């Protein structure tokens, strides 16, 4: 048995407590699989928490002290936030210590720098826990599918958004009511902006796309759209058309480069991603040799995230981490495709005057922009009034077209006298043509 892997844990929140609990409860399994014991030397946090078993580690409020201790082999960053976490990760790598972090935000924005520092210092940088909690998607992309050329990946990678859309679909709740319940149940933060606006998912997509396609960490180039504009009516119309609305992160190689986008999406009910409910996550990867593989599980929480942290600890402990260092150090040079150039089918909800000939004129405008219609919902609607004029929604599902052409058609429609307000657009994906 080799000497212990001596670690310091920075942060003492729910994930850090989950790591300590796992190291205590599964010590025999972890030691056997790592080939040596994992010993917690230090814990640093803003404050100590009563009743938490520190496994004999010393406690400090000074983060720098754990980096300066030569006995520490590895630093686990679980403090959250950005500035202090970034400083801690950089200083630990420069000091020649392995680093594990669950902090998706700093990886998405500084991942290239961290990997170069790790490479220069000859240490490992582990971040399995930063994406999809307990789902081993980083291991899948860097090891399980290492022989493959990755063609695309798409996933439900934010549990809060998925819970809200599931609640709206299953019980007919409004977005506001579903968000309120998500907060009450602890699925959403007091400030849920990162979740509902898609920023959290964009961080995770950045990391996965970097590993899948040899990109740098290009968070600033990810198109990001949230779910706060989705209504229960949109969800019902999608159901009538045979779809469910999911908030997806999508990365796909196309002839022009690579698409990087996060947005609400209509997914056919028959496909696996459509059935992922509640706070669960799922990622589907399409590769040239393995074909379609899907990874499903809890995307957050103390247990699943701690599981991923300790998995990285075991890899580093047994000395294999450097061999699989997930390091897209050299950027592949793939261009990120502008949203105007992507091709998709579309759901359109068009608020239109309730009079004869309107649908024919709407169809004519779409045809003029080379947009063909796949399906329409035009059944009897309750008359709605706006500025003393009766109106009804025209719901259209189109065939695939470029987003640029669709945007031009929407401008033309909204300029017409028949359309009385903004047109709702939601992209449609089938994932069967990759």
Q: Which of 105, 170, 152 is nearest to 131 (CA)?
A: 105
Catalytic residue among 97, 204, 246, 424: 204
**In whole angstroms, what is the distance from residue 176 CA to residue 243 CA?**
22
DSSP codes joined into one string, 92-120: HHHTT-EEEE--HHHHHHHHHHHHHHHHH
Are 304 and 133 in contact by the 8 Å Cβ rule? The answer is yes
Are 396 and 365 in contact by the 8 Å Cβ rule? The answer is no
**In whole angstroms, what is the distance from residue 391 CA to residue 386 CA?**
7
Phi, psi of 268 (to 5 degrees): -55, 140
Are 71 and 41 in contact by the 8 Å Cβ rule? The answer is yes
DSSP code for 50: T
Alpha-carbon dihedral of residues 214, 215, 217, 218, nearest 10 degrees? -160
Q: Which helix (H) or strand (E) holds 59?
A: strand 58-60
Q: Which helix (H) or strand (E) holds 91?
A: helix 83-94
| 335 flagged as catalytic | no
Active centre residues (catalytic): 204
């Amino acid at each position: 048995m080799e000497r212990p892997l001596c670690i310091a844990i920075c942060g003492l929140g729910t994930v850090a407590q989950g790591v300590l609990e796992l190291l205590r409860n599964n010590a025999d399994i972890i030691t056997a699989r790592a080939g040596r014991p994992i010993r917690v030397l230090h814990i640093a946090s803003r404050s100590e928490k009563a009743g938490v078993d520190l496994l004999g580690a010393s406690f400090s409020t000074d983060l720098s002290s754990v980096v300066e201790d030569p006995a520490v082999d590895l630093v686990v960053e679980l403090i959250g936030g950005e500035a202090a976490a970034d400083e801690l990760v950089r200083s630990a790598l420069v000091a020649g210590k392995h680093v594990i972090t669950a902090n998706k935000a700093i990886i998405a924005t500084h991942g290239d720098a961290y990997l170069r520092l790790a490479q220069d210092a000859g240490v490992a940088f582990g971040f399995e826990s930063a994406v999809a909690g307990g789902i081993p998607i980083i291991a899948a992309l860097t090891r399980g599918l290492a022989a493959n050329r990755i063609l695309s990946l798409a996933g439900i990678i934010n549990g809060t958004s998925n819970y809200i859309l599931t609640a709206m679909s299953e019980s007919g709740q409004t977005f506001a009511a579903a968000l309120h319940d998500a907060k009450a149940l602890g699925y959403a933060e007091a400030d849920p902006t990162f979740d509902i606006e898609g920023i959290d998912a964009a961080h995770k997509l950045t990391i996965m796309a970097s590993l899948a396609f040899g990109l740098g960490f290009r968070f600033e180039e990810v198109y990001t759209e949230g779910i706060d504009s989705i209504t229960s009516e949109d969800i019902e119309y999608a159901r009538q058309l045979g779809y469910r609305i999911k908030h997806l992160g999508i990365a796909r190689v196309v002839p022009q480069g690579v698409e990087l986008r996060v947005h609400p999406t209509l997914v056919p009910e028959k496909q696996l991603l459509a059935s992922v409910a509640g706070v669960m996550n799922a990622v589907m990867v399409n590769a040239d040799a393995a074909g379609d593989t899907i990874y499903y599980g809890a995307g957050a929480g103390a247990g699943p995230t701690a599981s991923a942290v300790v998995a990285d600890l075991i890899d580093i402990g047994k000395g294999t981490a450097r061999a699989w260092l997930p390091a897209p150090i050299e950027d592949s040079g793939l261009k990120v495709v502008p949203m105007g150039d992507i091709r998709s089918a579309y759901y359109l909800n068009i608020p239109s005057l309730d009079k004869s000939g309107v649908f024919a004129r709407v169809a004519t405008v779409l045809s003029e922009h080379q947009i063909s219609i796949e399906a329409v919902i035009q059944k009897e609607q309750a008359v709605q009034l706006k500025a003393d004029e009766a109106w009804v929604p025209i719901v259209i599902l189109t065939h695939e077209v470029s987003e640029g052409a669709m945007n031009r058609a929407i401008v033309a429609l909204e300029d017409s006298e028949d359309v009385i307000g903004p047109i709702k657009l939601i992209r449609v994906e089938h994932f069967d043509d990759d």
